[in-house]
Copies of this chain bind each other. A is one copy, B any other.
Amino acid sequence: MKLSGKNIIGTEVLRSEESFVATSPLDGTVLDGRFEMAGVADVDTAIRLALVAFESFGKSSGTSRADFLERIAAEIELLGDDLLQRAHLETGLPLARLTGERGRTVTQLKMFAALAREGSWVDARIDVALPLRQPLPRCDLRRMLVPLGPVIVFGSSNFPLAFSVAGGDTASALATGNPVLVKAHRGHPGTSELVALAVRRAVAACGMHEGVFSMLHGAGNVIGQAMVVHPGSRAVGFTGSRTAGRALYDAACSRPEPIPVFAEMSSLNPVFLLSGALSLRATAIAEGLKTSMTLGVGQFCTKPGIVFAVESPEFIRFREILADLVVKTPAATMLHSDIHQSYCDSLKRVASVKEALLLASGQSQTNPAANQAVVEVRATDMKTFLSSKHLHDEVFGPFCLLVSVATHEDLSHIARTLEGQLTASVHGTENDLVEAGGLLDVLIHRAGRVIVNGFPTGVEVCHAMQHGGPYPATTDSRFTSVGGAALARFVRPVCYQDVPSAQLPEALLDNNPQGIMRSLDGVLSRDVVKPHGSSQ
Report A's interface with B, CB cutoff 8 A.
55, 58-59, 125-127, 136, 138-139, 141-143, 146, 149, 249-250, 253-254, 257-258, 260, 419-420, 430, 433-434, 437, 440-441, 444-445, 447-454, 458, 460, 462-466, 468, 470-472, 475-478, 480, 484-485, 491-500, 502-503, 517, 519, 521-522, 524
Known: A127-B463, A445-B149. A498 touches B138 (CB 8 A): no
Q: Is the CB of A59 within 8 A of B441?
A: yes
Candidates B126, B258, B480; contact of A475 at CB < 8 Å: B258
Q: Are A502 and B450 in contact (CB under 8 A)?
A: no
Q: A448-B494, A449-B497, A494-B450 are in contact. Are A430 and B502 (CB under 8 A)?
A: yes
Q: Which residues of chain B are within 8 angstroms of A464 by Cβ–Cβ distance? A: 125-127, 141-143, 495, 519
- Among B143, B146, B460, B524, the residue within 8 A (CB) of A465 is B143
Q: Does A460 contact B502, Cβ atoms closer than 8 Å?
A: no
Task: Across the interface, name the chain B residue whose C-beta is closest to A246.
Answer: B258
Additional pairs, 14, CB under 8 Å, beyond known A149-B445, A430-B502: A125-B485, A126-B464, A136-B458, A139-B460, A141-B460, A260-B478, A433-B503, A434-B502, A448-B494, A450-B497, A463-B522, A464-B495, A478-B492, A484-B522
Q: Which residue of B lies closest to A477 (CB)?
A: B492
Q: Which residues of B contact A502 (CB under 8 A)?
A: 430, 433-434
Known A127-B464, A257-B420, A258-B471; contact A450-B496, beta-carbon cutoff 8 A: yes
Chain copies in the assembled complex: 2
Q: Which of B136, B497, B500 contacts A433 (CB 8 A)?
A: B500
Which residues of chain B are within 8 angstroms of A519 by Cβ–Cβ distance?
463-464
Query: How far does the alpha carbon of A496 sit from the alpha carbon of B465 in the complex, in Å?
Result: 9
Docked complex Cα distance between A462 and B520 (Å): 11
A475 contacts which chain B residues (CB < 8 A)? 258
Q: Does B139 lie within 8 Å of A454, measured CB to CB?
A: yes
Complex contacts, A437 vs chain B, CB 8 Å: 503
User: What CA separation (Å) do A143 and B258 show in the bound complex?
Assistant: 29
Distance in Å from the Cβ of A25 to the closest Cβ of chain B?
A: 27
Of all A-B residue pairs in the complex, the 10 with the closest CB atoms, nearest first, are A466-B495, A253-B253, A141-B464, A125-B464, A449-B495, A143-B464, A451-B497, A127-B464, A257-B471, A127-B462
- Measured between beta carbons, the chain B residues less than 8 angstroms from A420 are 257
Given contacts A444-B146, A464-B519, contact A495 B450 (CB under 8 A): yes
CB atoms of A452 and B146 under 8 A apart: no
Alpha-carbon distance between A499 and B475 when the two chains are bound, in angstroms: 26
> Distance (Å) between the CB of A233 and the closest chain B CB?
13
Q: Tell whether A485 pairs with B480 under 8 Å between CB atoms, given A55-B441, A454-B139, A460-B141.
A: no
